[in-house]
Structure 1
Amino acid sequence: MNRLTRWLCAAALMTFFGSVSMAESRYPSRVVSMMVPYAAGAASDFTARALSGPIAKDLDGQVIVENLGGASGAIAANKVLAAAADGYYLFQGSPSELILPTLVNKSTRYKPEDFQWVAPVAVSPLIVVVRSDLPAHSLDELVDLAKARKDAPLSYGTPGAGTLYNLLGELFIKKTGAQITHVPYKGGAPLIQDLIGGQLDFAFMPYQAIYADYAKQGRLRVIGALSSGKSLPAPFNSVQSSAESKALKAFDFTIWTSYVVKKGTPRPIVERLNAAISASLKDPQARSSLELQAKTVFEPMTVEAGEKFYASEVERYRQLVKTTGYELP
């Protein structure tokens, strides 16, 4: 390689890295999309809309919420991974989209490691919700009813096949011996509407404050909490917890939400987003909105700590899949 060629290569590299550095320093220079992998109106959508304003303020840019349901969140995940690794697509994920599809669905084209952890948001308690006229008022009564319905199994809805809620249904079958029928939806909002309409018997769901209104109106009932603690607001803090249940003692589950970007996003942009999300969780109005939904907001977590947490969660859910023996049909 002659001297001129070496000089041209060096100049090209300097230009490339200089443009990358300038893009990072000017981030964001266009709209940042918060990708929610379910239809508008569900718990995940509520979280994004509570935080989008404070995040935009901290970034001094425009942030929009984009809803894209389908395939248990995989459609939205694939759209984020198909885009450039530049921090302009911020994916709002949970184990149901980031981890479980890669473990139960052989056709899933991505792995948990294809995402770069940015920052956690909150942990949500999981509850069992039933249609208003279902003759079950506790977790144990639900199990007894499911066992008795051999010829016409109870139906349960989830935001999609292979999600945590679907695995909970499989675990329910394994632990109780009762047969129940899975009905997948594109998100929590249409699921709840069918539950209210009586087309569905029950569901495992993250708690939302709107359920208090539905319960008061007699449109559905909350009969149990899938955790040992009484983290739900009144009047639901008196429902039977899994720790109090004879049949479902092993059902100690919550679900976390976090933000991730495509792997390969420049570290300064990842750190900038981490700081913006952490700041948004300190915003009084945003924090109050999340806590009204009985969410436990995460304390600020560095990117490095988050990466370790994410790796441990991947392993934890791998063990859950092994326990259920679940594989997407």
Structure 2
Amino acid sequence: MKYAAIFLSAVLATTGAQAQSWPTKPIRLIVPLAAGSAVDAAARIVAEKMSRDLGQNIVVENQPGAAGIIGAGAVAKAAPDGYTFGGFNDSIMTMVPNLTPKMPWDITKDFEPVSLVATVEWGLVVNAELPLKSAGDLIAAAKKAPGKINYGSGGNGSPQHIAMALFASQAGVQMTHVPYKGATQAAMGVAGKEVDAAFQGIATVNSLIKAGKVRLVGVTTPKRMPQFPDVPTVSESGMPGFEFNSWFAMMAPAGTPKTIVNQMAAEVKKALEDPEVREKLNAQGLTPRGTTPDELGTATKAQLAKYGELIRKNGITAE
């Protein structure tokens, strides 16, 4: 018994030393979305602060394509050693799995939840040269010319696709979907008059709004946003009760040590408590959150069920 106790103490001491020594090299944060997207913007703001706190660089690596399936797959296949994490939106986590029959990974089995970092507030944008001033105007134009109004998205099954499909379904209008390879490209499509409109994370289109290349005609928050006090909510301008936002959540490959997962979640929360980080996120239309791994796991399962029902009810497909 004496030797067993000594051995157990040695194992615990070694495990503790390993946890204390992490991280000893740079950490990859794979974002399966285009550079300049809302999640990408949030990831870079938070990663910069966490890098300083941890004493190791957190390198944001964009791997867009296939509505996030490819980049998320890279996270799932990565060594679970605490040096690869994923920065996902809730489309990757809860929408795409409900739209894709044969997924190459399972969000509830192939990943460890870390933290819900922030929610991304959304808005409805149109090309600045169009005579549309509100969500009601867009609905009226779509009713007048069914199928003639087109909208851009970051791909089939992306949040932009889901948001507009729900909007069109609830408004009883037909619009043409034009999928791009990412949210940033879809935003540029609106600015370049390739498409008429899009739902977008505010962070993705903030610079285009300021430059006058797209017009923000509605926000999908319950109340008007302080950053845009003159812009009505979609709910108050033609679509009562319509609300939409998305997530920036951090995930790890399944099997990543719990000590590291918990420490990473604590570091996220610490970074989000920094006034400068909060100010930067708020300016981009992002609301800081910060949760425990268990809280994110519970929210993910609930969101999977919620979007599964919404997608089936509204007949939304990835085609």
- What's the TM-score once normalised by structure 1's chain length? 0.87
Amino acid paired to 1:140: G
How many residues in Structure 1 have an aligned counterpart in Structure 2? 312
Tell me, what secondary structure is at the counterpart of 1:38?
coil
Deviation at 1:126, TM superposition (A): 1.1
Task: Kindly indicate whether the alpha-carbon contact (under 8 Å) linking 2:98 and 2:304 is maintained by their aligned counterparts in 1.
Answer: no
Counterpart of 2:295 (choices 299, 305, 329) is 305
Any residues of structure 2 matched to 1:46-61 within 5 Å, and which? 46-61=41-56
2:154 corresponds to: 159
CA displacement, residues 152-191 of structure 1 (integer Å, 9 cap, x when unaligned) = 5211111111122211222233222321111112222222
Q: Describe the SS at the equivalent of 1:75.
A: helix
C-alpha distance after superposition, 1:29-55 (max 9, x if no partner) = 222111111221222221111111211
User: Which of the numbers 130, 142, 149 marks the counterpart of 2:138?
Assistant: 142
Query: CA 1:321–1:178 in structure 2 vs 1: closer, same or farther (change >3 Å)?
Result: same
Q: Distance in 1 between the 2:154 and 2:74 partners?
A: 19
Is 1:33 the counterpart of 2:28 in the alignment?
yes
TM-superposed CA distance for 1:306, in Å, is: 2.8
Q: Is the 8 A contact 1:232 1:294 kept in 2?
A: no
Asked if structure 2 preserves the Cα contact closer than 8 Å seen for 1:167 and 1:324, the reply is: no
The alignment status of 1:133 with 2:133, answered yes or no, reads no
> What is the alpha-carbon root mean square deviation over aligned residues?
2.5
User: Of 308, 311, 316, which residue of structure 2 is paired with 1:321?
Assistant: 311
Q: Which structure's CA Rg is the greater one?
A: 1
How far does the alpha carbon of each residue in 1:1-31 deviate from its partner, in whole angstroms, 9 at most, with x for none?
Answer: xxxxxxxxxx9xx999998776444322222
Structure 1 unaligned blocks of 5 or more = 1-10
SS at match of 1:224: strand
Q: Is the 8 A contact 1:92 1:260 kept in 2?
A: yes
Q: What is the Cα deviation at residue 138 of structure 1? A: 0.6
Give the structure-2-normalised TM-score: 0.89
Paired residue secondary structure (2:142): helix
Q: SS at 2:317's partner residue? A: coil
CA deviations over 1:38-88 (Å, ceiling 9, x no partner): 221222221111111211222222211101110111111000011112221
CA 1:71 to 1:20, structure 2 compared with 1: closer, same or farther past 3 Å?
farther
Match of 2:224 in 1: 230
Q: In structure 2, what is the equivalent of residue 277 of structure 1?
A: 268
Please state if 1:288 is matched with 2:292: no
Shift of 1:257: 1.3
Q: Which moved more, 1:15-24 or 1:30-39?
A: 15-24
Structure 1 stretches of 4+ with a deviation exceeding 4 A read 14-23
